[in-house]
Structure 1
Amino acid sequence: MTTTTTMLSSPSASMEESPGVARGDAAPAPRRRRRVLVSAIAVSPLRGSEAGIGWNIGSRLARYHDVTLMCIPGTRDPHRQEIESYLKEHGPIPGLTMLYIEPTWLFRLFDRNSSSLLRPLFYIGYASWQRAAYRTVKRLHAEKPFELTHHLNILGYREPGYLWKLPIPFFWGPVAGASNMPWRYFPMLSWRDRVAYGLRNIANEIQKRLASRPRKAARAAAHIWAIGEDNRRMFTDVFKVPAECLCEAGGKPRPELASIKIYDPANEPLRLVFAGYHIGRKAVPIVLHAIARVANEFPITFTSLGSGPEKPKWQQLAQRLGISDKVTWIDELPQVQAHARMAQAHVFAFPSLQEASSTVTLEALSLGLPVICHDACGMGFIVTGDCGIKIPMRSPEQSIQGYADALRRLHQDPAELTRLSRGALRRSEELSWDYAARMIAEGYDRVLAAKEHASER
């Protein structure tokens, strides 16, 4: 195994002068810059999901502290090359050091991108990488001590790594993985999905209660951030430790497309849009059934962006419900084009049953789109009464009726839709990558300052 450390900049330089990270609110002066080790196995400035989270939060933390960002250089995806190319184009990031830990042979064998038969064993390979990373960090800490460590990703609670074993404050999160697929919604899923999610639900409850290392890491943590109430309750109710809600993703403002939505029911239909991978847990049939219930009351259209295995079934359902003339199906588009299509709508409908925070929800808010979603998962934290309408997730029938009632409400009160649109733009600003990094940096300062104050007594 090869370990590579790459210095990208001077730790004491001002972050606000760096073109390598998107600008945001000016970083307030920290109590003092601390030496921080952040573990984020996946890091890339060019990708979304875990890699995007690793980069966007890890790099922005360097505004406040001297950050060593530990990650894998890549297996199938060339993350290191993407990072180095980005920095060559945009310039170095003051305060950031990249630490690359090569994948172990077990990690390569059970990589998520390997065959579907081996994919369930991913966490075995991932744990072996974390053990190798811990040995390297332990050596570096002995040579030049870190003041705190932070396990950023993978987000799932099942693998917290080993940094919590070091004799310094350990921070964890944002953490996901606690949510189960609601059993009452299983009739909406394909038989394959019912089997897969059923087994996952059972395994998830067993792991929460019997897996020892997540519990030990949680109890060793100085502070934990959780994605939404489901994950926060896992820590408080099962692990018996406090946790704070924090969105793991950040919105990217698109001022050229954002607008306050104005709906004129006398002259135009109420335009809904959905965007995402067309799989069972996205639960688009809830929206289709809701549209069928209100279609004879007022004009309405629905645009579904994306593709996936459930799309043909959903198209057939729209035909059976007699609303196929109101639904437009558009295959996956490049992000800029997808955002342009979304921006043409009045409302973003996102009926997903299981998510972390969902980047597309943040994208919708950044376009000024009010969101209708379930009051669950990360959406329950992201969406407030000032930017959307949340439907209790109790049963398919109640969800369908809840969506239908929400559509009637917006049709009957266009001023409410405009109010929610204004709120969506405000909420998008609150949930930026800059905001997430600032909350984490302030969490570091708050916890460590309290420990230092206590030690002085």
Structure 2
Amino acid sequence: MTSQISQKKKILIAAYAISPYSGSEFGVGWNFVSKLSEFYDITVMYGTSGVCMGNRDAMLAYLQSQPADGVKYVYVEPNALVRLFDWMNRSVTPLFFSFSYMLWQRQVLATAKKLKKNEDYSLVHQLNTIGFRHPGFLWKLDLPYVWGPVGGSSDLNDIFFPILSKGNYLRNKLRNWTNRYFLRHSARVRNAAITAKAVFCATSADRDNFRRFLNVDCQVIRENSVLNMKDAIKPTGAQVQFVWAGSVDERKALNLLFSALEQLPSRSDWCLHVIGDGPIKSMLQARAVVSELDKQILWHGQVQREEVLRIMREADVHIMPSIMDSNPTVLLEAFEMGLPSIALDQFGAHDLITAETGFKVSVNTLEEIVEQLAQHITFCLDNHATVDLMKTNVLLRQKELHWDISLRQVRDLYEKVSHE
């Protein structure tokens, strides 16, 4: 066994956020590192596994229960200045995160240089955060450099700004402007992209942006993939069960779905399950009462992931009208549960959903989006057999979206890079 381990290539990974108990960036770090460790001798440098930079309670708890999982975890402790900026990020404005993260990445570079003196690494991989504005500094090491998955380079479409609150309007205008600035003018982004032996992007939109602005060719490898595959579908019953899950906020755009439901003629052959809480929930609940939709909407609130999956398992169609999402976990969970999805034709949904596995809503005008949502919902209500066929197609598509495929793609990149 020892000889087999010694033959594995040694890979140095920077994963700012990592935890076996959380999703989002933490899950991205954990899934890639844990799964790649089956094939490589992994050393991972990390900065958080909890609510803020420097919180590593979750990883300490994990390492106590699994002290020998085959990965070397190197905690890069934020220094006093990094912690100050992180406190300002949480207490004053999120704009300070960039400062804290950049300074922490300089600590990562220093740590990597020390590790490199004692280990013969085949390559170094900047894993997360996946935002393209934060490539870190590991490209400065004298090692083949891999960067990805890279995301967050796409703008919010202008048609959505009229439905945003003043704060979100200004925040997303600033985000769009800084996206274009970083793609065109950031020396760190350009140096990382050009120096990298391989860059892989989270979505085809991110790939296209890297080609257009940085003249760098990227492969698309999602930050999340399907883990569990369902064996059989649940036939659609007399009442079609729709499900929506996420934070009830402007970005997830549950209000657009409500506008579509309000266009439907009065009929009782549907039910909508809403999973999650958020700042506009009470407003939407009041709106449902006024529009007489409340009797067909079940508000589940914030529940554990196991309960989310149970509700989705009993549903028929997943609806995701998010106006800004890369590869949301809930969309991949819908694939795991064998559900066709209705989603806006942009970002990750554009790549994931096919005509055989769901409905993609063209992003032209708000009026057309609402109209198409209503049309797709009506189609599902009137064509149960087609919905069941889509469910079967989703089960077939699971294999293409499985983690095994993503890992194979990353391993192919590793092998190519380490032999160049």
The answer on whether the counterparts of 2:268 and 2:296 sit within 8 Å (CA) in structure 1 is no
Query: Aligned residue for 1:61?
Result: 36
- The aligned amino acid for 1:85 is A
Match of 1:261 among 210, 213, 234: 234
The answer on whether the counterparts of 1:11 and 1:66 sit within 8 Å (CA) in structure 2 is no
Structure 1 gaps, min length 5? 1-8, 15-31, 452-457
Match of 2:411 among 441, 445, 449: 441
- The aligned amino acid for 2:176 is N
The answer on whether the counterparts of 1:285 and 1:317 sit within 8 Å (CA) in structure 2 is no
Instruction: Confirm whether residue 214 of structure 1 aligns to residue 189 of structure 2.
Output: yes
Partner-residue secondary structure (3-state), 1:44: coil
User: 1: CA distance between counterparts of 2:83 and 2:105?
Assistant: 13
Instruction: Confirm whether residue 12 of structure 1 aligns to residue 7 of structure 2.
Output: no
Query: Aligned residue for 1:82?
Result: 58
Partner-residue secondary structure (3-state), 2:302: coil
Query: Aligned residue for 2:46?
Result: 71
**Alignment RMSD (CA, Å):** 2.4
Q: CA deviation at 1:79?
A: 5.9
Work out the percentage of aligned pairs sharing the same amino acid.
29
Query: Are the structure 2 counterparts of residues 67 and 10 from structure 1 closer, same or farther at C-alpha, using a change threshold of 3 Å?
Result: farther
- The aligned amino acid for 1:217 is A
The answer on whether the counterparts of 1:209 and 1:238 sit within 8 Å (CA) in structure 2 is yes
The answer on whether the counterparts of 1:35 and 1:147 sit within 8 Å (CA) in structure 2 is yes
Cα deviation code 1:309-365 (max 9, x no counterpart): 011222233334342222222211111112212222110000101112111111121
Query: Aligned residue for 2:99?
Result: 124
User: 2: CA distance between counterparts of 1:160 and 1:169?
Assistant: 15
The TM-score with structure 2 as length reference comes to: 0.92
The answer on whether the counterparts of 1:358 and 1:378 sit within 8 Å (CA) in structure 2 is yes
The answer on whether the counterparts of 2:336 and 2:398 sit within 8 Å (CA) in structure 1 is yes
Query: Aligned residue for 1:146?
Result: 121
Instruction: Confirm whether residue 51 of structure 1 aligns to residue 26 of structure 2.
Output: yes
Query: Are the structure 2 counterparts of residues 309 and 76 from structure 1 closer, same or farther at C-alpha, using a change threshold of 3 Å?
Result: closer
Instruction: Confirm whether residue 187 of structure 1 aligns to residue 172 of structure 2.
Output: no
Query: Aligned residue for 1:235?
Result: 210
Q: CA deviation at 1:183?
A: 1.3
User: 2: CA distance between counterparts of 1:186 and 1:259?
Assistant: 41
The answer on whether the counterparts of 1:228 and 1:379 sit within 8 Å (CA) in structure 2 is no
Instruction: Confirm whether residue 314 of structure 1 aligns to residue 272 of structure 2.
Output: no
Larger deviation: 73-82 or 352-361?
A: 73-82
Query: Are the structure 2 counterparts of residues 112 and 364 from structure 1 closer, same or farther at C-alpha, using a change threshold of 3 Å?
Result: farther
The TM-score with structure 1 as length reference comes to: 0.85
User: 1: CA distance between counterparts of 2:48 and 2:160?
Assistant: 40
Query: Aligned residue for 1:133?
Result: 108
Query: Aligned residue for 1:29?
Result: none
The answer on whether the counterparts of 1:227 and 1:248 sit within 8 Å (CA) in structure 2 is yes
User: 1: CA distance between counterparts of 2:3 and 2:85?
Assistant: 36
- The aligned amino acid for 2:61 is S
User: 2: CA distance between counterparts of 1:108 and 1:399?
Assistant: 43
Instruction: Confirm whether residue 348 of structure 1 aligns to residue 340 of structure 2.
Output: no
Structure 2 gaps, min length 5? none
User: 2: CA distance between counterparts of 1:114 and 1:426?
Assistant: 43
Q: CA deviation at 1:75?
A: 7.1
The answer on whether the counterparts of 2:89 and 2:97 sit within 8 Å (CA) in structure 1 is no
Query: Are the structure 2 counterparts of residues 343 and 41 from structure 1 closer, same or farther at C-alpha, using a change threshold of 3 Å?
Result: same
Cα deviation code 1:108-155 (max 9, x no counterpart): 112278534142111111111111111121232233332211100011
- The aligned amino acid for 1:127 is M
Partner-residue secondary structure (3-state), 2:251: helix
- The aligned amino acid for 1:301 is C
The answer on whether the counterparts of 1:45 and 1:55 sit within 8 Å (CA) in structure 2 is yes
User: 1: CA distance between counterparts of 2:112 and 2:152?
Assistant: 26
User: 2: CA distance between counterparts of 1:10 and 1:317?
Assistant: 63
User: 2: CA distance between counterparts of 1:308 and 1:275?
Assistant: 11
Query: Are the structure 2 counterparts of residues 269 and 76 from structure 1 closer, same or farther at C-alpha, using a change threshold of 3 Å?
Result: closer
User: 2: CA distance between counterparts of 1:202 and 1:247?
Assistant: 25
The answer on whether the counterparts of 1:277 and 1:307 sit within 8 Å (CA) in structure 2 is yes
The answer on whether the counterparts of 1:355 and 1:377 sit within 8 Å (CA) in structure 2 is yes
User: 1: CA distance between counterparts of 2:200 and 2:354?
Assistant: 19
Larger deviation: 365-374 or 294-303?
A: 294-303
Query: Are the structure 2 counterparts of residues 232 and 395 from structure 1 closer, same or farther at C-alpha, using a change threshold of 3 Å?
Result: same
Q: Which runs of 4+ in 1 moved over 4 A?
A: 73-81
User: 2: CA distance between counterparts of 1:157 and 1:312?
Assistant: 35
Match of 2:380 among 410, 435, 439: 410
Counterparts of residues 164-203 of structure 1 (less than 5 Å): 164-203=139-178
User: 2: CA distance between counterparts of 1:11 and 1:226?
Assistant: 35
Query: Are the structure 2 counterparts of residues 196 and 398 from structure 1 closer, same or farther at C-alpha, using a change threshold of 3 Å?
Result: same
User: 1: CA distance between counterparts of 2:3 and 2:107?
Assistant: 26
Partner-residue secondary structure (3-state), 2:136: coil
